Amino acid sequence: MSYMKGLKCRECGKEYPKEALHVCELCFGPLEVSYEYDKIKEVLSRSVIEKRSPNMWRYKELLPLEGDPSVGAQVGFTPLVRAKNLGEALGVKEIYIKNDAVNFPTLSFKDRVVSVAISRARELGFHIVACASTGNLANSVAANAAACGMETYVFIPYDLEKTKIMGTLVYGASVVGIKGTYDEVNRLCSEVAGKYGWAFVNINIRPYYAEGSKTFGYEIAEQLGWKLPRHIVVPMAGGSLITKIWKAFNEFIKLGLVENNNTKVYGAQATGCAPIVNAVKEGSELIRPVRPNTIAKSLAIGNPADGYYSAKVMRESGGWGESVTDEEIIDSMKLLAETEGIFAETAGGVTLGVTRKLIEQGRINRDESIVVSITGNGLKTQEALEGKLNKVTVINARLSEFDDIVKANGKEYALKG
Ligand SMILES: *Cc1c(COP(=O)(O)O)cnc(C)c1O
Ligand SMILES: [Zn+2]
């Protein structure tokens, strides 16, 4: 049973059938999936959801498929960690890490959007799946397409992190590295989609793809004991995730699953690529494109497709946007690892770095609940930490040489016998 009604233009409201469409032919506004919420309200309750398997499909009535997912049945329901040590370090009472660094199968939140997009592409009769990616989407499209036997083309900026490239090639995808920025990759992909008619998950399938991000928000609400946080900090690339978390919270309120907690939503970007944050700070509705220059490559989109709408979410919710330098990104990656044992990628350093800034600025109240959105895994962006960590102490396998290390550390240990 599907509760998906159709597609609807976000600007003029014109309705469209549930096909591979993404822009309004009247006003060029983006299309969004609409649902029959009255009917969903009759069937979906906390206890119905709680009885289901721990994956993102426990909210299936709110996802845009006609039938069951054809790939990614195990995606989602990642840990929400009550981060006591981090909270102490930052001087805040109640802080949580939503940890998609361990999402299945490719260790980023992109598995959520891709399982929806590929499943929907198959329902619509596509045989070839493709994407324009800053890295994590490439990994996820390649893996999930392999798992359901689809042919795959992945387009990336040629200078991505080694592990992100390897973690795409390994699944047998055709990987095309473009000499240019993500924005140039994306432009080429629109042309390829037009000419070859493939399912580009984040272009012509985008309205369905983007809905997968809502599950990140549903899970937070459920894992907090059916409550919304007071503050949530979200990393932004194209700006889709932040708008979908907001949509998720509002759907849960509308369905009576949670109470409105006046959640404030904050967007995080790297200073070297902060077009959305710049607009928020300037109080402008206009997103001025930038040329990215940051170690947070997964967030390096200079002309964000959902920039306008994400700025609007921050404004409407009473949140804010902030950015951090590459140095601050690395510092926060280390802080998260050292306090909570969580190794996040550069994007996680952006999110935590921005969270710290917002706390220091007094925008986030130290006594209220805070969720930090960790969206990708640190093992994929190891280059960023090269030369930034302590060195391994290399010795011969001799006890006396180890004794020297202990001495050099200047610590006293009780000895046995
Ligand atoms: C893609 C990505 C994001 C942001 O996604 P948008 O929806 O495009 O804003 C955040 N974090 C990581 C690690 C990503 O790969
Ligand atoms: Zn329109």
Residues with CB under 5 Å of ion ligand 2 are 9, 11-12, 14, 24, 26-27, 29
Report residue 294 CA to chain centroid gap: 18
**Ligand 1 within 6 A of 223 CB?**
no
Please name the helix (run of DSSP H) or strand (run of DSSP E) that holds residue 34, with its range, or none: strand 31-35
Q: Is the pLDDT of residue 274 over 90?
A: yes
Alpha-carbon distances, residue 262 vs 228, 230, 250, 316, 368 (angstroms)? 8, 7, 10, 10, 12
C-alpha of residue 298 to centroid of ligand 1, in Å = 6
Share of the chain above pLDDT 70, in %: 100
For residues 8 and 15, what is the distance between their CA atoms, to the nearest angstrom? 4
The ligand 1 atom at the shortest distance from the C-alpha of residue 310 is 9
Ligand number with the minimum distance to the CA of 270: 1
Location of structure tokens 């609409």? 34
Is pLDDT above 80 for 170? yes
Among 298, 336, 350, residue to substitute to test ligand 1 (most atoms within 8 Å of Cβ): 298
Q: Which atom of ligand 1 is nearest to the CA of 237?
A: 9
pLDDT at 412: 85
Distance set, CA 388 to CA 324, 327, 331, 351 (Å): 17, 10, 9, 19
- Whether pLDDT at 289 is above 80: yes
Q: Tens of pLDDT along 40-80? A: 999 999 999 999 999 999 999 999 999 999 999 999 999 99
Check: CB of residue 263 under 8 Å from CB of residue 232.
yes
- What are residue 144's DSSP bridge partners? none
Return the ligand number nearest the Cα of 268: 1
What is the band of 1 on the pLDDT scale with cuts at 50, 70, 90? confident
Span between the terminal Cα atoms of the chain, in Å: 70
State residue 324's pLDDT score.
98
211/188 Cα distance (integer angstroms): 24
pLDDT the model gives residue 386: 95
Residue 411: pLDDT band with limits 50, 70, 90: confident
Cα→Cα distances 219→29, 75, 298, Å: 29, 12, 23
Q: What is the pLDDT of residues 313-328, one digit of tens each?
A: 999 999 999 999 999 9
Enclosing H/E stretch for 234: strand 231-235
Query: Reduced to 3 states, what is the DSSP secondary structure of residue 57?
Result: helix
Taking the C-alpha atoms of residue 379 and residue 29, their distance in angstroms, rounded to an integer, is 38
Question: Residue 200: what are its φ and ψ, rounded to 5°?
Answer: -85, 110
Rounded distance from Cα 299 to ligand 1 centre (Å)? 6
CA distance 295 to 284: 26
Atom of ligand 1 nearest to the CA of 135: 15
User: Quick one: average pLDDT of 157-172?
Assistant: 96
Q: What is the CA radius of gyration of the chain?
A: 22
**What mean pLDDT is predicted for residues 179-204?**
95
Asked if 342 and 332 count as a contact pair (C-beta separation under 8 A), the reply is no
- Nearest 10 degrees: CA dihedral of 108, 111, 114, 119? 180
Identify the pLDDT of residue 77.
98
Structure confidence at residue 417 as a pLDDT band (50, 70, 90): confident
Burial of 31 (0-12, 13-18, 19+ CB in 10 A): buried
Cα 191 to averaged position of ligand 2 atoms, centre (Å):
22
**Quick check: pTM over 0.75?**
yes
> Which residues, other chains included, contact 38 with Cβ-Cβ below 8 Å and sequence gap of 6+?
none
> Burial, 192: exposed, middle or buried (Cβ in 10 Å; 0-12, 13-18, 19+)?
middle
Strands (E) located in 46-108: 80-82, 94-99
Q: Which of 137, 293, 321 is nearest to 233 (CA)?
A: 321
Decide whether any atom of ligand 1 lies within 6 Å of the 375 Cβ: yes
Domain regions of the chain by residue span:
80-106+210-385
Residue 12 CA, ligand 1 centroid: distance in Å:
27
Confidence class for position 248, pLDDT limits 50, 70, 90: very high
3-state secondary structure of 11: coil
Q: How is the chain split among helix, strand and coil, in percent rounded to 5?
A: 45, 15, 40
Which tens digit of pLDDT belongs to each residue from 80-98?
999 999 999 999 999 999 9
Indicate which residue's Cα is closest to atom 14 of ligand 1. Answer: 298
Residue 242 tokens read as 């932040």
- Report, as an integer, the average pLDDT of 381-403: 96
What average pLDDT does this structure show over 386-395?
95
Q: If you measure from the C-alpha of residue 196 to the centroid of ligand 2, how many angstroms do you get, rounded to a whole number?
A: 25
* Mean pLDDT, range 259-283, rounded to an integer: 98
Distances from the Cα of 268 to the Cαs of 178, 233, 247, 312, 373, in angstroms? 26, 7, 18, 14, 10
Pocket test for ligand 1, best of 168, 299, 306, 309 (most atoms within 8 A of CB): 299
How is residue 233 annotated by DSSP?
E
Task: Give pLDDT tens digits for 115-143.
Answer: 999 999 999 999 999 999 999 999 999 99
The class level of CATH for 80-106+210-385 reads alpha beta
Does any ligand 1 atom lie closer than 6 A to the CB of residue 376? yes
Distance CA 254, CA 248 (A): 10
